[in-house]
Structure 1
Amino acid sequence: MSTLDQKPVRTLGVLLHPTALPSSPGCGSLGSPSREWLKLLANNQIGVWQVLPLSPPDKTGSPYSSPSSFALNPMLLDARDLVDQGFLPENALDDFFVGSVESSSVDFRYAESRAEKLGHLLRRFWPDQSKERHLEFNDWSRDQFWLEDHSCFMELRRQYDGLPWWEWPVQFAQRHRKYLTRWRMQNEHNLLEHSLLQWHLDRQLISIKKLARELGVVLFGDLPFYVARDSADVWSNRGLFSILKDGELKVQSGVPPDYFSSTGQLWGTPIYRWHIHHLNRFRWWRRRFARQLKQVDLLRIDHFRALVEYWEVSGSSLTAENGSWKKSPGKSLLELLQKDCMGPLPLVAEDLGVITPEVEALRDKFQLPGMKILQFAFNGDLENPYLPENIKGNRWVIYTGTHDNQTTISWWNESDEQTKDRVRSRFGGSVDAPGWQLLELALSSEACLTVAPLQDLLHLDDDSRFNTPGTVGNNWKWRLRSFDSEICGALKGYGERGVFWKRSFESSFGLVRPSENL
């Protein structure tokens, strides 16, 4: 087993979604909260900031079921920066409900309302902006093939009280050209609001990425494999998805029954019509990756195994039991993406669960790092692939847990005595700080990147858990109150355990050249 001194690279990362940052009303933002967070990471020798998808969330707050896989989340737009940069006058926010900036919970209702009001204000003061800014916006808009469909989709959704697109009047649900063209002309100002929001979000995220590069911090993003049925993606590209004209699913995604669920998981998202994607050389997919890799440096592909084979279930099924495995052309897609990147792919494969040799072969062919979760390691099997000593080679990202897991302290408290004894045996019989002790085990492995959810560094229990899969109503809401001394102390203690990964595009993670070259 490698030791810390033998490792050329052992980088530390923290998993924290921007909505959980403090010091802005409703939820975190891409303004000063993100800048302060990046500086805290860099000052404490932590080289990676991992986030969840930055796209707009669904009604439950989940960023994994977004109305657009190309757009950014308007709730993350920083209003203070808009004023400071002259896009809004100083008094524009005088009557703006400021909300609590020290809440321990994201207020989705307020954050969504706030984003809508910002859209109104940006459109209202847009005529006052300089000619240069108008030209910059127009040039950017022309380069965003997805923007018009996204703006139309979000405005129609607003006008029809949030109904899914298949319940809109037929001329809009079916995208009748004559009606849609007339409607666009009649709603020109409202559509501008959505486009301006996305432009400013893009500008703020580019600024954050630039700062991260200057500080030597890698931005690590997340790409859901499937897209939501009720999304601009499906509404505007129906031929690419297994969906009927009336919006009903022909077939849908999920995973088969396993140890955790006797009926499997039914996800309700449309399957890709892979033969169509293959015929057009995966144009939609390649645009999607290019968009993501302009926003972040490193990207996790959720449900990676579906690039080899996917579980297909009838659209009318109520459980995932009676599906079947189907082959997908992931190798062809990754080959084209590699050409687009002109080098190794800056991707991480989410290869958790039951993974076949074919999936491992595809991951290894493109030299993609895989994932290891320490909470899965202690079932008594000495061959368990998540045990630190069984993690061979450095092409791995190792976690104590992810956003979908229990926090480590709650996992420990709810583990049976056999599991606890297996963990205790590695520490001479004493486990006083489960999150930190699991981190020590992670650092004893050969993985070149260790990532900890911030909750584990702060010894927080499941009251601060970010998501409990299969439940709705209380997920995605956890948030920091402030960057207090406890957080600063936790980051300092964590940073002292690793080797800071100074920003380099010649790293083993495939960051060969700036993603702006895509």
Structure 2
Amino acid sequence: MEFKRCSGILMPISSLPGGYGIGSMGKPARDFVDFLTRAGQTIWQILPVGPTGYADSPYQSCSAFAGNPYFIDLDLLAADGLLTKKDYANINWGGDAAKVDYGTLYEKRFTVLRKAYHNFMRQRPVPGYDTPYSDDWYRFQFLSSDWLPDYCLYMAIKEDNGMVDWQQWPRALRVREPEALARFRAEHAEEIEFWAFLQYEFDRQWRSLHAYAKSKGIAIMGDIPIYVAADSADAWAGRELFETDAEGKPRRVAGCPPDYFAADGQLWGNP
């Protein structure tokens, strides 16, 4: 096997300019791909693209499979007729355009994305059906069926409980009692579908960006967290994969022994 030397640049999607508060997968990302081509580079290394939780670290994600809704490009949603420019262009996304204000993003971004979701629900009416869907939507649902339902349910419950850690939820939901989950699904069906819509749009934009980079000869090199986060849909829905007790609390958590950076070692909290 022959190997060829190559080089590239590390650029987190969040650090791209022009994304209304944070970098996005639209024109700013394509502009960076074009820059890499002009610079003679062949690799774009990114940081993890999963949804961030408290402290907004890409290495503590509430899902090992989902994409970060913040990276959904609003201009692309507008091009699809899901938003108008006035829905987002005049919003104050933070005091410093060179920095990401995650508090402001959390307060304002989802309001805009919910507008896009409601417009999505009204698009392409089919006689006899209240909610039309494209074949692409069903394809995404099918290909994501191993993780998407649990993730969307997790996010809807989390939202309904003030975004606290799932280990602080009411016991019936925390330990996934079937009757409690079925009741919640029935009462919050639209909220659950909203989170599915976000992943659908992320997937569409990510695949489009990936194809564009490939057409320019640029390979995207990803990065993933070492461990699954404790407060995640994965730890909540896949408890049998982790060392937990009957209440879902981890029996042991990850960390590292004392070293040059931390005399007492580090306790990361990952199950």
Whether TM exceeds 0.5 here: the answer is yes
Cα distance in 2 for partners of 1:95, 1:256 equals 48
Q: 1:115 to 1:94 in 2, by over 3 A?
A: closer
- Aligned to 1:49, what secondary structure does the other structure show? strand
Cα distance in 2 for partners of 1:183, 1:245 equals 22
- Aligned to 2:244, what secondary structure does the other structure show? coil
Would you say 1:108 and 2:109 are equivalent positions?
Answer: no
Cα distance in 1 for partners of 2:133, 2:87 equals 21
1:91-125, Cα deviation, whole Å (9 max, x unpaired): 66168625259712111112223331233113311
What amino acid is aligned across from residue 141 of structure 2 in structure 1?
Answer: S
Partner of 1:69: 64
Q: 1:95 to 1:259 in 2, by over 3 A?
A: closer
Partner of 1:157: 158
Partner of 1:125: 119
Partner of 1:236: 237
Would you say 1:196 and 2:191 are equivalent positions?
Answer: no
Cα distance in 2 for partners of 1:62, 1:244 equals 27
- Aligned to 2:222, what secondary structure does the other structure show? strand
Cα distance in 2 for partners of 1:179, 1:216 equals 50
- Aligned to 1:260, what secondary structure does the other structure show? coil
**1:397-412 matches, cutoff 5 A:** none
Cα distance in 2 for partners of 1:257, 1:43 equals 45
Q: 1:259 to 1:109 in 2, by over 3 A?
A: closer
Aligned-pair CA distance for 1:47 = 0.9
What amino acid is aligned across from residue 129 of structure 1 in structure 2?
Answer: Q
- The answer to whether the Cα contact below 8 Å between 2:72 and 2:201 also exists between their aligned partners in 1 is yes
- Aligned to 2:9, what secondary structure does the other structure show? strand
Partner of 2:31: 36
With the length of structure 2 as denominator, give the TM-score of the two structures.
0.90
Would you say 1:10 and 2:8 are equivalent positions?
Answer: no
Q: Which moved more, 1:160-169 or 1:248-257?
A: 248-257
Partner of 1:214: 215
What amino acid is aligned across from residue 112 of structure 1 in structure 2?
Answer: Y
Cα distance in 1 for partners of 2:113, 2:196 equals 9
Cα distance in 2 for partners of 1:101, 1:93 equals 19
- Aligned to 1:251, what secondary structure does the other structure show? coil
Structure 2 unaligned runs (5+)?
127-131
- The answer to whether the Cα contact below 8 Å between 1:92 and 1:121 also exists between their aligned partners in 2 is no
Q: 1:48 to 1:94 in 2, by over 3 A?
A: closer
Cα distance in 1 for partners of 2:139, 2:3 equals 43
1:428-455, Cα deviation, whole Å (9 max, x unpaired): xxxxxxxxxxxxxxxxxxxxxxxxxxxx
What amino acid is aligned across from residue 188 of structure 1 in structure 2?
Answer: A
Would you say 1:134 and 2:134 are equivalent positions?
Answer: yes
Q: 1:159 to 1:10 in 2, by over 3 A?
A: same
Cα distance in 2 for partners of 1:42, 1:101 equals 32
- Aligned to 1:244, what secondary structure does the other structure show? coil
1:250-309, Cα deviation, whole Å (9 max, x unpaired): 011112223433322221111xxxxxxxxxxxxxxxxxxxxxxxxxxxxxxxxxxxxxxx
Aligned-pair CA distance for 1:158 = 1.1
Partner of 1:361: none
Cα distance in 1 for partners of 2:141, 2:3 equals 43
- The answer to whether the Cα contact below 8 Å between 1:55 and 1:72 also exists between their aligned partners in 2 is yes
Cα distance in 2 for partners of 1:101, 1:41 equals 29
Aligned-pair CA distance for 1:168 = 0.6
- The answer to whether the Cα contact below 8 Å between 1:167 and 1:173 also exists between their aligned partners in 2 is yes
**1:176-325 matches, cutoff 5 A:** 176-270=177-271
Size of the aligned set, in residue pairs, is 263
Aligned-pair CA distance for 1:38 = 0.7
Would you say 1:99 and 2:100 are equivalent positions?
Answer: no
- The answer to whether the Cα contact below 8 Å between 1:119 and 1:194 also exists between their aligned partners in 2 is no
Q: Which moved more, 1:203-212 or 1:77-86?
A: 77-86
Cα distance in 2 for partners of 1:80, 1:100 equals 18
Q: Which has the higher strand share?
A: 1
**1:471-510 matches, cutoff 5 A:** none
- The answer to whether the Cα contact below 8 Å between 1:68 and 1:233 also exists between their aligned partners in 2 is yes
- Aligned to 2:208, what secondary structure does the other structure show? helix
The structure having more radius of gyration, on CA atoms, is: 1
Cα distance in 2 for partners of 1:61, 1:127 equals 30
**1:23-62 matches, cutoff 5 A:** 23-62=18-57
1:144-187, Cα deviation, whole Å (9 max, x unpaired): 12111111111111111121111111111111111111211111
The root-mean-square deviation of aligned C-alpha atoms, in Å, is: 2.1
Q: 1:92 to 1:171 in 2, by over 3 A?
A: farther
Q: 1:197 to 1:8 in 2, by over 3 A?
A: closer
- The answer to whether the Cα contact below 8 Å between 1:212 and 1:219 also exists between their aligned partners in 2 is yes
- Aligned to 2:8, what secondary structure does the other structure show? strand
Cα distance in 2 for partners of 1:192, 1:66 equals 20
Structure 1 unaligned runs (5+)?
1-6, 271-518
